[in-house]
Structure 1
Amino acid sequence: MLLDLLFPNRCLHCNQIISKDDLVCEICFSHINFLHYNFSEENELKNRCKLLFPIENAFALMQFEEEALSRKIIHQLKYRSQEKVGEILANWTIEKLRFDTNKPDVLVTVPLHPKKLKKRGYNQLHLFADTLSKNWDIPHNKEFLKRNTYQKAQATKDKSHRLETQYNFSTTENMDGKHFLLIDDVFTTGNTMNAIAWEILKNKNNKISILVMAYDG
């Protein structure tokens, strides 16, 4: 209680004092560019993915914009040790994403290399996915994907160099006939999703859908 008085929670954008469980104030929340995708219908993200790999459905919560609040939110989650932001983003996602049909069987998250995981202290996607898993009653398999190579953070590269990056992922077990919901923070070039999708789709009975916190397109 004393810490709350001395160091009150403040809006990420305007610095106004807000509830300890919130991320932004009501006014700033209204400025977030949410994407109103229907998971089971065509949308821009799904069409981008179709150029790379076979996909069932796709959903993005926000539009990622360089000078906008969505960028601040993602950076708080990834680089400011604010893992709790993942839970808040998950609750926003739950409000907006409905599985009318074709509900996935399992949630999988893009893995960090062990070196990066040790440095950051947490995978920024795990609390997000765990919150979704509990609400949707879909298991979250944290260990299914493995990152085999250590790469610089995507935020430190321009887009031309991101396109050149070769990712190296593998799966840790054989799962057959499953519909995977692959989760990442930001979809930019699609390189990461593409590499992982084809690993999962080595089993022709598997299917892939995509969920990202933000779409940079």
Structure 2
Amino acid sequence: MILDVTFPNRCISCSRIIDGKLLVCNLCLAQIRFSHFDYHGENILKERCKLLFPIENAYALMEFEKESVSRKIIHQLKYQSREKIGKILAEWTHERIEFNHEKPDILASVPLHPKKQRKRGYNQLHVYTETLAEFYNIPYQHDLLKRNHYSKAQALKNKKHRLESQNTFSITRSVSNQHILLIDDVFTTGNTLSMIAWEILKAGNNKVSVLVMAMDE
């Protein structure tokens, strides 16, 4: 197509011209530190979550290092209107996780406040979640969770403000006896996921697992 010649697809990391369906070139793909976690077993993300809330399983696709390819990818996804990156990240996730007989009942992405979503134009987790739902044949519910307050991104808050957050999230409908897989982009302190997990756990006899695109140190 003319657009492919005039505006060729380029690697997010090094700007080499690549196939239109790809996200990064092979050289940059080899630089990504994938976690290689066992979703059903023990790993460092699960251990960190255990300190905050009861959890069934946990998985991080990549490590979120400074000046890394993974950081560039997620920055493009969140702030450069490249929502479709979520589809490729979902493909990478699907290549690495098999749920087998322990498949969650619902996929639920961390919500943005409506004001922030209108400003950004999209929730960076929706395409990722929807693609995973299609791969695994698991229903997703973007509106199961509600963010009640408009605030700065977690990364821009200091530790004190993070810990002071209360009633930030709520459940929009009755849900019980469900295994819910919470989906977020980056695990940093775990504060956001913890607040949501406790709301889900308080709502009924539910179980919570966590899936993130990347885990910070």
| Alpha-carbon distance between aligned partners in 2 of 1:164 and 1:120, rounded to the nearest angstrom | 26
What is the CA–CA distance in structure 2 between the aligned matches of 1:78 and 1:123, rounded to whole Å? 8
Q: Is the 8 A contact 1:144 1:171 kept in 2?
A: yes
Counterpart in the other structure of 2:112: 112
- Counterpart CA distance in 2 for 1:36 and 1:169 is 31
8 Å Cα contact 1:185/1:212 also seen in 2: yes
SS of the residue aligned with 2:102?
Answer: coil
Root-mean-square deviation (CA), in Å? 1.3
Q: Calculate the TM-score normalised by the size of structure 1.
A: 0.96
Structure 2-normalised TM-score?
0.96
Q: Tell me which amino acid in the other structure corresponds to 2:147.
A: R
Map of 1:166 onto structure 2: 165
Q: Percent identity?
A: 58
- Superposed structure 1 runs of 4+ greater than 4 Å apart: none
Aligned pairs, number: 216
Residue by residue, what CA displacement relative to the aligned partner does 1:48-80 show, whole Å, maximum 9, x if unpaired? 000000000000000001211111000000000
Residue 199, structure 1, aligned to residue 199, structure 2: yes
Q: How far apart, CA to CA, are the structure 2 residues paired with 1:162 and 1:66?
A: 23
What letter is aligned with 1:198?
A: W
> Do the aligned partners of 1:40 and 1:100 also contact (CA within 8 Å) in 2?
no
Aligned position for 1:83: 83
Identify unmatched segments of 5+ residues in structure 1: none
Q: Which amino acid aligns with 1:13?
A: S
1:137 pairs with 2:163:
no
Q: In 2, are the aligned partners of 1:162 and 1:189 still within 8 Å (CA)?
A: no
Letter in 2 for 1:156: L
**SS of alignment partner, residue 151 of structure 1:** coil
Distance in 1, matches of 2:153 and 2:79, equals: 10
Task: Give the corresponding residue for 1:57.
Answer: 57
Any gaps of 5 or more consecutive residues in structure 2?
none
Which residue is equivalent to 2:214? Answer: 214
Cα distance in 2, alignment partners of residues 164 and 196 from structure 1: 14
Which letter does structure 2 place at the counterpart of 1:142? H
How far did 1:101 drift?
A: 3.6
Aligned to 1:74: 74
- Counterpart AA for 2:73: I
CA apart distance, 1:146: 0.3
> Does the aligned pair in 1 maintain the 2:163–2:191 contact within 8 Å?
no
Q: 1:38 to 1:100 in 2, by over 3 A?
A: farther
